[in-house]
DNA sequence: TTTTAATTCTACCTTTAAGTAGTAATTAAA
DNA sequence: TTTAATTACTACTTAAAGGTAGAATTAAAA
């Protein structure tokens, strides 16, 4: 019962960048070192964040990465969505075909409340909310 | 953000068995058919459930499986524990080293409430509670 | 005693997530 | 204009989850 590694890394990367408002550009090397994320894996994730338009990249010498949107406009759930890791409404905790009013799984009712809480947490927490709130590694 | 397939299958298998009190023995073939779980994968899971002492197996012709404990004594969390899939107290949603009072991750505080709810749901739901509450597949 | 229907065991195969390697492209500084 | 520092791209490797195959074992029924 966990987020996948890629999602975890992506959230930590973006939160780190959002946290350091004094800096304008972050290199992959810095992010990799500061956040203890394997360099090559990090650059792979950065490319996806660029494609998803959350991050702008400056190529070439003295280049780097920076946020493309305001930190308050990026929700944790938006990040999870890039990696297909957010909690879908129709998702069933026991993995049965259709889990809803007509045919629900054995844990459907108990799962409802924690599921909604988690969805709210992801949908309402922006990078601004979580930046600087925690340790890096 | 989901339970692994094996955990889902195991919960559904045990809930099914707990639900049919009129029957005393369940063959792998029946369970596989009724729950739409691949036969060979199911037997693998059954073996683990037997080793974990939740299920008793009767070998040979006319054999099968049955619950070894009372349904009220088996919690969903006990099942998840077999497959290392329960939510540990120290588990961090962003996967950082030690996520506690001293050094917590950026989502630590928001994660607290849904995490405790889920832990309670798993720890307090017994097979008896969930048996017969849902569709099979 | 043989057959048959069942579980168990060992080993393998497939798919996906996670991570690595090497090189090309880009750009500012020297 | 060359060099160094940077991101981007393509392809590969490794590890884990998910799933399959086949033979061995067991024990009731015929």
Distance from CA(A5) to C1'(D3), angstroms, rounded? 37
Q: Percent of chain A having pLDDT more than 90?
A: 88
Sequence-ordered list of residues with C-beta below 8 angstroms from that of A124, at least 6 positions apart, any chain: A75
pLDDT score of A122 more than 80: yes
**A36 touches A45 (CB < 8 A):** no
CA gap B17, B28 in Å, rounded:
11
B1 vs A85, A99, A104: nearest CB: A85
Is A67 inside any structural domain?
Answer: yes
Q: Smallest Cα–Cα separation from B3: which of B65, B94, B113, B82?
A: B82
The ipTM of this complex is 0.91
Nearest residue to D27, CA vs C1'?
B60
Nearest to A92 by CA among A81, A79, A101, A80: A101
Close Cβ partners of A22 (under 8 Å, ≥ 6 residues apart):
none
> In degrees rounded to 5, what are phi and psi of residue B98?
-120, 115
User: Does some domain include residue B102?
Assistant: no
Q: Are strands B64-67 and B55-58 parallel, antiparallel or unpaired?
A: antiparallel
Contact A2 B125 (CB under 8 A): no
Residue B23 in any domain: the answer is yes
Which one is predicted more confidently, B10 or A91?
B10
| Residue A78 near residue B117, CB atoms below 8 Å | no
d(CA A135, CA A12): 10
Quickly state the pLDDT bin for A111 (edges 50, 70, 90): very high
In the prediction, which pLDDT does A103 show? Answer: 87
The answer for B 78-117 residues in CB contact with A (under 8 A) is: 80, 85-87, 91, 93-97, 99, 103-111, 113-114, 117
Per-residue tokens: B115: 């995490």
Examine residue A137 and state whether it is found in any structural domain, yes or no.
no
CATH code of the domain containing A41:
1.10.10.10
Whether residue A136 lies inside any domain: the answer is no
Q: Is residue A135 part of a domain?
A: no
- The count of structural domains within chain A is 1
Task: Classify residue B99: in a domain, yes or no.
Answer: no
Q: What is the block-wise mean pLDDT of chain B (137 residues), using blocks of 10 residues? A: 96 97 95 97 98 97 96 97 94 89 90 96 97 81
Determine the distance between A48 (CA) and D28 (C1') in angstroms: 61
CA nearest A10 in B: which residue? B94
Q: What is the pLDDT of residues A20-34, one digit of tens each?
A: 998 999 999 999 999
Segments forming the whole domain that contains residue B80:
5-86+126-130
A29, closest nucleotide (Cα–C1'): D6
pLDDT band at A101 (very low <50, low <70, confident <90, very high): confident
Does a structural domain hold residue B25?
yes
């Amino acid at each position: 019962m966990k987020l996948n590694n890629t999602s975890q890394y992506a959230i930590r990367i973006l939160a780190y960048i959002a946290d350091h408002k004094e800096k304008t550009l972050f290199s992959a090397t810095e992010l990799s070192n500061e956040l203890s994320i394997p360099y090559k894996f990090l650059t792979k994730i950065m490319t996806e964040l660029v494609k998803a338009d959350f991050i702008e990249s400056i190529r070439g010498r003295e280049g780097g990465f920076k946020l493309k949107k305001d930190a308050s406009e990026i929700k944790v759930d938006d990040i999870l969505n890039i990696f297909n890791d957010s909690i879908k409404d129709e998702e069933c905790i026991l993995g049965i075909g259709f889990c809803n009013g007509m045919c629900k799984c054995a844990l459907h009712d108990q799962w409802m409340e924690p599921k909604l809480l988690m969805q709210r947490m992801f949908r309402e927490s922006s990078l601004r909310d979580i930046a600087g709130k925690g340790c890096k590694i």
